[in-house]
Structure 1
Amino acid sequence: MSSDHPVSGVAGRYATALFELAEAQGALDAVAGDLDGIRAMLNESEDLLRLVRSPIFSADEQGRAFAAILDKAGASTLVKNFVGLVIRNRRLFALPDMISAYKAILAAKRGEMTADVTSAHALSGAQIESLKAALKSATGRDVNINTKVDAGLLGGLVVKVGSRMIDSSLRTKLNSLKIAMKEAS
Structure 2
Amino acid sequence: MPQGGSIVSGVAGRYATALFELAAEEKSIDAVGADLARFEALVAESADLARLVRAPVFTAEQQLAAIAAVLDKAGIGGLAGKFVRLVAAKRRLFLVSEIIRSYRALVAESRGVVRAEVTLAEQPSDKVLEEIRTALKGVAKGGEIVLDVKVDPAIIGGLVVKLGSRMVDASLRYKLNSIRLALKEVG
Structure-2-length-normalised TM-score: 0.65
* Matching of residue 107 in structure 1 with residue 108 in structure 2: yes
Q: CA deviation at 1:3?
A: 6.5
What residue in structure 2 maps to residue 30 of structure 1?
Answer: 31
Identity over aligned pairs, percent: 47
Q: Which deviations, in whole Å up to 9, do the C-alpha atoms of 1:50-103 show, x marking residues without a partner?
A: 111101111112112211221222223211111111111111111101000100
- Aligned residue for 1:90, secondary structure, equals coil
Q: Which deviations, in whole Å up to 9, do the C-alpha atoms of 1:122-160 show, x marking residues without a partner?
A: xxxxxxx99x868744533435578xxxxxx9xxxxx97
What residue in structure 1 maps to residue 179 of structure 2?
Answer: none
Q: CA deviation at 1:43?
A: 2.2
1:50-69 pair list within 5 angstroms: 50-69=51-70
Q: Which deviations, in whole Å up to 9, do the C-alpha atoms of 1:160-181 show, x marking residues without a partner?
A: 7534789xxxxxxxxxxxxxxx
Aligned length: 158
* Matching of residue 142 in structure 1 with residue 144 in structure 2: yes
Counterpart residue identity of residue 47, structure 1: D
State how far apart, in whole Å, the 2-side matches of 1:58 and 1:112 are: 39
- Aligned residue for 1:60, secondary structure, equals helix
What residue in structure 1 maps to residue 95 of structure 2?
Answer: 94
Q: CA deviation at 1:18?
A: 0.3
Q: 1:108 to 1:3 in 2, by over 3 A?
A: closer
Give structure 1 stretches of 5+ with no counterpart.
Answer: 118-128, 147-152, 154-158, 167-185
The Cα RMSD (Å) is: 4.0
Counterpart residue identity of residue 136, structure 2: T
Larger radius of gyration: 2
Q: 1:139 to 1:10 in 2, by over 3 A?
A: same
Give structure 2 stretches of 5+ with no counterpart.
Answer: 119-125, 138-142, 153-160, 169-187
State how far apart, in whole Å, the 1-side matches of 2:130 and 2:40 are: 23
* Matching of residue 82 in structure 1 with residue 50 in structure 2: no
- Aligned residue for 2:83, secondary structure, equals helix
1:141-180 pair list within 5 angstroms: 141-143=143-145, 162-163=164-165
Q: 1:71 to 1:135 in 2, by over 3 A?
A: farther
Q: CA deviation at 1:14?
A: 0.3
State how far apart, in whole Å, the 2-side matches of 1:72 and 1:133 are: 42
